[in-house]
């Protein structure tokens, strides 16, 4: 079953109000995406993994993935597309502050795409259901870098620049090898399998009762 982005936000908020906090949803989302990535690669030990992180909760999922991938022995670099004090949400901030205590994960901020290594895997945690309008900097440069880099790419929830409701694309958008979306498929995503690559919808522990009155 495919749902609307509005329904997803309503379900998310109802689950949060039931006590299944967005922080827990984010943890399960990041963990599910990492499981699919590790399943695909067999193991990610000492793979160079570059995670682009937006300032919202799509980025937050990427921060959770960074912590889990460090646990699998990957060489993880996080590029935050802004400054830490501008991270939008409490749950994303919470995950950033954990990474600040983890020397095993390299943290970069500001959005430059000048890296001194070639990534084996890129994670697109730039934009998800919160996308609106033409892609602004530094998100645009990050999306262009991802498209110009030849390696395996995983999109968190949706390839950034693809509108998960309509299936329309912004002026620029990522083309990925795998997309892991959460809870239920959003209506626009399956319209662009050319951008999503292998597509998975992973449960993240939201109580089914959170859908009552919404679906």
Ligand X SMILES: NC(=O)C1=CN([C@@H]2O[C@H](COP(=O)(O)OP(=O)(O)OC[C@H]3O[C@@H](n4cnc5c(N)ncnc54)[C@H](OP(=O)(O)O)[C@@H]3O)[C@@H](O)[C@H]2O)[C@@H](O)CC1
92 in a labelled binding site: no
Residue 173 interacts with ligand X (CB under 6 A): yes or no: no
77 is in an annotated binding site: no
The closest of 183, 86, 181 to 124, measured between CA atoms, is 181
Strands 121-125 and 75-80, sheet pairing: unpaired
160 binding partner (options ligand X, K ion, none; Cβ < 5 to 8 Å by kind): K ion
Q: 131: annotated binding-site residue?
A: yes
197 is in an annotated binding site: no
Tell whether residue 128 is among the known ligand binding residues. Answer: yes
CB of 25 to ligand X, least distance (A): 4
Q: Is 130 annotated as a binding residue?
A: yes
Window 102-141: contact mask with ligand X (x via CB under 6 A): -------------------------xxxxxxxxxx--x--
Contact indicator for 91, 31 with CB cutoff of 8 Å: no
Residue 176 contact, options ligand X, K ion, none, Cβ 5-8 Å cut-off depending on partner type: none
H or E stretch covering 182: strand 178-182
Shortest reach from residue 7's CB to ligand X, in Å: 10
183 is a site residue for ligand X (CB under 6 A)? yes
Cβ atoms of 179 and 158 within 8 Å: the answer is yes
Nearer to ligand X, 54 or 119 (CB): 54
How far is Cα 89 from Cα 105, in angstroms, rounded to an integer?
A: 21
Is residue 146 within 8 A of residue 153, CB to CB? The reply is: yes
**Residue of the chain from 16, 35, 88, 106 that contacts ligand X (CB under 6 A):** 88
Q: By CB under 6 A, is residue 23 in contact with ligand X? A: no
With helix as H, strand as E and coil as C, how does 100-165 read? CCCCCEEEEECCCCCCCCCCCEEEEECCCCCCCCCCCCCHHHHHHHHHHCCCEEEEECCCCCECCC
CB nearer to ligand X: pick between 59 and 159:
59
Selected from 47, 49, 58, 65, the binder of ligand X by CB under 6 A is 58
Residue 63: name the closest of 156, 178, 176 by CA.
156
Q: What residue numbers does the annotated binding site for (6S)-NADPHX cover? A: 57-61, 128-134, 139, 157
Q: What residue numbers does the annotated binding site cover? A: 57-61, 124, 128-134, 139, 157, 160
């Amino acid at each position: 079953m495919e749902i609307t982005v509005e329904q997803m936000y309503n379900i998310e908020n109802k689950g949060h109000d039931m006590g299944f906090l967005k922080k827990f949803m984010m943890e399960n989302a990041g963990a599910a995406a990492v499981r699919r990535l590790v399943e695909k690669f067999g193991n990610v030990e000492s793979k160079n993994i570059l995670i682009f992180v937006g300032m919202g909760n799509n980025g937050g999922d990427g921060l959770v993935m960074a912590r889990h991938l460090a646990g699998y022995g990957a060489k993880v670099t996080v590029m935050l597309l802004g400054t830490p004090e501008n991270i939008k949400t409490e749950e994303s901030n919470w995950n950033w502050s954990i990474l600040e205590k983890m020397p095993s994960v390299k943290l970069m901020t500001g959005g430059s795409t000048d890296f001194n290594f070639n990534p084996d895997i890129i994670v697109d945690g730039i934009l998800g259901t919160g996308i609106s309008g033409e892609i602004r900097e530094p998100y645009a440069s990050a999306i262009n870098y991802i498209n110009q880099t030849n390696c395996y790419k995983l999109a968190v929830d949706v390839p950034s620049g693809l509108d998960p409701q309509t299936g329309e694309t912004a002026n620029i958008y990522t083309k990925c090898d795998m997309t892991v979306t959460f809870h239920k498929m959003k209506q626009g995503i399956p319209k662009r399998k050319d951008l999503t690559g292998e597509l998975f919808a992973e449960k993240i522990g939201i109580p089914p009762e959170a859908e009552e009155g919404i679906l």
